[in-house]
Chains A and B, each alone.
Chain A
Amino acid sequence: MTTIRELRVLPPLAVARLGGAAEPMDNYTAETDPTEPLGPRRLRPAPTFHVDPGSGAITGADTPATLRFTDGHGKVRPVAPFLEVWALTDDDVLRPLTVDLLRDNGLTPEDVRWRVRVGNHKIQRRTYDDNDRIDADTEWFSDHVSHELMGVCANFLEDKFLPLGHARYLKPTPEFPGIRLRFTPAAGHVYGSAYTDRPTDPDPNVVDFLYDATRGKWRGHADQPGDPRLTIPAQIYAGDDGPDGSWVSRGYLDDECDGLVHVALDVSGRELTAFGRIGAGPPAYAPDVIPIRTVADELDQALHGPAATGQDTLEQARAVAEEVLRRATETVRLMNTEVMNGNTVDGRVDAASTMVRQDTADTGRLFEPIMAPSLVDAAAVLALHRNVLAALRSGTAPWFADVLRDHDEVGDLTAKGRRKMPALMRGADGRSLALTRRQVNLVRLAARQAIFRQATDEPGGPR
């Protein structure tokens, strides 16, 4: 008999994407096209679980013929991730927890307990009022019905809650015997705040009023300058100009959330538990593009440390360098580089919220475009990035390592500092974006080493 010793929830972190369509999004991968290596990644449909709405069982895992991101009626199909339970057994193997494995341990799927707790603390983060926290908790369950994640908040109007999606323990079947939970996020709506002591004007932006604007402070809130707890930049909520240059909240809230999925199982009198993390963010409107710095890069750095080590081979470093360049090319493709550089566009100076405006607002620096204004024609910048990517594929050492911004240079406001790569983009701290230290160090590893290789004699071999 194989005894279950520990549990895991995999993936440990799953990001859902909001959407109002009834049918969740199909599975796909984004792949580089070998015949057009400079073009966008191609989306390729992948096997997708289909869940029977009535029973909660998986009924198939077909690969769709085509990919469609909406339901055809203007509603976005949500990305609804599956979380699987894996078991570490007494033979030191990590294996999927299945009906058979449960049975071997004298258990049934009904013995598996789940609990999902998520929150949306965006308002509380601004007002510092704990009554503004929005939380949802399914409590423990073992059935296969859909459990709504009802976000409740002390400052909500009576009987109102924020729908944050739902969680469902999928019913295992002989074809799909694994123990899984599916998190389906909310629709991606905007909700409003209404007064209880006076009339509230209708608002075409919101689908419903949830928040009691008379009891709570969110509607009408303004970030106070000088408060050290403010986000950088502050005032990043929907609002209107108020007195003395303040930015006054309209009292909006969204239905994003994040939290934990807990699983518990009593094995031979011992309670085993595990949890995974879930979150819900906006839909991927550019699904063939990978951002220049992702959570995966942060995790890679957390796992391996910021430096390139003896474990990192030249081939891996080269692959990182090419991937960085590919993502940069993809990013540039989506940017209005003229506006983001701070150029005067169609006669408009300071046409949008850009790093140029940020530099000026934060430090009083002259409003000065970042790159030479002549250089930022979007098509020309994109072509340049594609050319760099092409040259990199020759096996030549990545020579652009010295224009990468280091982590401790994000506040360098010299012309050189502002022009480092990635350029024109903001990091989480309100200053220029930098790659992770590990990304930079791997590109540099490739830059140092690439000249000592020789083309192999094999046709098409690596160079």
Chain B
Amino acid sequence: MRSRVHRHLASVVPELFEDRAPAMAVLSVAGPLDAEEERPVLPPEFNWRDYTVMLLHVAAEIEHSLMVQYLFAAYSMGGPQVPEGLRDDVRGWQEVILGIAKEEMGHLLTVQNLLTVLGGPINLDREDYPWGSDFYPFAFNLQPLSADSLAKYVVAESPSTWSGPEATAIKERAAKASGDYVNRVGALYGRVDAILKNKDFLPDELFHADTLPYQASWDEWGRGYTRGERGQDSGNVPDVKSPELLVFGVFSRDSARKALHEIGEQGEAPDADEQDETSHFNRFLGIYRALTRLPEDQQALVSRPVAQNPVTAHRLNESQPVGYAAAEVTTNPITDPVTALWGHLFNLRYRMLLTDISHAFLLSGPVDNGGVLTGRGALVHRAFAEMYNLRAVAGRLVERPLEEDVPGGLLAGPPFEMPYSLELPHHDHDRWLLQRDLVQASQLLTDQLLSTDPAGADDPYLVALRESDRRALEQIEHVLSRKGCTR
């Protein structure tokens, strides 16, 4: 968590600051989180609306971080070393984890809607890794899928009531792998809800229903992942159910609380039935049980030998271990020059994805059946296109060496490094200039890859990406010349 947020967190997690009394004691005014009946207390420097916005910013970072870690784990799975008899299982597990990541994406968008209805700025930012979170039971850590990393995800998503010998064993394993395992995400949402439900803190007029056309909707972002109909077979893998993407429009106090409750329940399952397979907890636990039933040597074959926390080469000097509220984690610089280019391409497309999402939030959707279209639809589609590109580039990275000239060494993986800034220009015209910048940067990287990598000269994906960028640029120029797209 960035330190400028961290200093305000005493209001939610005062125990973090116990050793800093008395200077910090004054900040711990909100009282302990588990005392639900206790009236939340406003920390210094805030009013209630702004404090709520700050807490939602923290929530957004957590949902974003969870999504990225799950994606990394899913992308690491597979490879030619997976024994034939395990392949159906591994592909099924990958689909489950990708589904959970998609659901986290829905949570992230819903938190943006909550921010938007309150008139707050949206937040797609997150800290680069590795970093410790005061709310999250383990440090942000991009790791290939293993029983250890799965144990962390099981614990992170577990209900507070989860106990018994299996719970103890998995919690111990997670703790050994990553340190502290207290889950505070539910507590954060609990605190936000305690504020939302109090009209004295947030009067009705602070919920701006007229922001709905600017909010993300399931119709735009759901892509057929049905609300309330989880349980249909997904077509990709037999017996794996489709994810249930929750994206709630928020227009009132009630709808805000319902949205918060639903995403809390799907994710962290505060009081969920342990048998309820819709929760992330039970889905992760199912995979954990199946994986740990395998002999150890087979467990190791489930994912490719992917380095944890791969970073692009320009960060060579920052590769020391970092310990922060968790066990130590290490970054792995990508030193193979071609792999590093792929890593940069990944980071750039990730930035394009985040830019498209935040840009879409600034344009209104149509208020009737589409009589007047803005560029919003195009941006939503571009965001999905970037998700597909990330998947494609990640596919390349998990097949490529981390280091040059180390036969049999570790493979790289998607670095997910954050851009220097996610701020968008004030004028829409200038936002499209930024869009053009990013596409042109991608063209430079693509050309470099096509000319540097002997194997990449006719890589069908790079050739297609180059063409797709060229066509995207034509569309952006069209918008910039005020002729189309945004009408």
Contact = CB atoms under 8 A, between A and B. Distances in A.
A374 B374 contact: yes
Contact of A460 (B80, B224, B384, B457): B457
Contacts of B365: 372-374
Nearest to A419: B224
Contacts of A373: 365-366, 368-370, 373
Contact of A402 (B224, B378, B393): B224
* Max chain A C-beta neighbours (<10 A), residue from B235, B396, B485: B235
Contacts of B371: 343-345, 347
- Interface residues on chain B, size class: 35 or more
B206 interface: no
Contacts of B393: 394
Interface string A436-463: 0000100010011101111101111101
Contacts of A338: 370, 373
B467 A387 contact: no
A342 to B, nearest CB: 7
A459 B377 contact: no
Nearest to B364: A374
A377 B484 CA distance: 10
A391 B388 contact: yes
Given A384-B381, A394-B392, A460-B455, A374 B78 contact: no
Contacts of B238: 448
B396 A383 contact: no
Interface in A14-35: 34-35
A192 interface: no
B459 interface: yes
B149 to A, nearest CB: 18
Nearest to B74: A451
A36 interface: yes
A310 B475 CA distance: 44
Given A376-B377, A383-B381, A390 B369 contact: no
A357 B391 CA distance: 37
B388 A454 contact: no
B464 A374 contact: no
Contact of A397 (B236, B242, B455, B458): B236
A383 B392 contact: no
A156 B472 CA distance: 57
Contacts of A377: 373, 377-378, 485
B298 interface: no
A384 B382 CA distance: 7
A460 B236 contact: no
A342 B468 contact: no
B467 A342 contact: no
Contacts of A380: 377-378, 381-382, 485
B369 A369 contact: yes
B219 interface: yes
* Max chain A C-beta neighbours (<10 A), residue from B377, B393, B461: B377
Contacts of A343: 369-371, 373
Contact of B460 (A37, A375, A459): A37
A396 B388 CA distance: 9
Given A383-B385, A386-B468, A390-B467, A374 B236 contact: no
B430 interface: no
B463 interface: yes
Given A377-B377, A379-B484, A344 B369 contact: yes
Given A372-B217, A395-B461, 20 more contacts: A36-B467, A38-B468, A39-B467, A347-B371, A371-B219, A373-B365, A380-B377, A380-B382, A380-B485, A381-B381, A387-B381, A387-B384, A387-B385, A387-B388, A387-B468, A390-B464, A402-B242, A458-B455, A459-B455, A460-B457
26 contacts: A38-B467, A338-B373, A343-B371, A343-B373, A345-B371, A349-B369, A369-B369, A372-B219, A373-B366, A374-B366, A375-B380, A376-B370, A379-B478, A380-B377, A389-B464, A390-B388, A390-B392, A391-B385, A393-B461, A394-B395, A394-B460, A396-B392, A402-B236, A403-B223, A420-B224, A460-B457
Interface of A: 34-39, 338, 341-345, 347, 349, 368-369, 371-377, 379-381, 383-384, 386-391, 393-397, 399, 401-404, 406, 414-416, 419-420, 440, 444, 447-449, 451-455, 457-461, 463
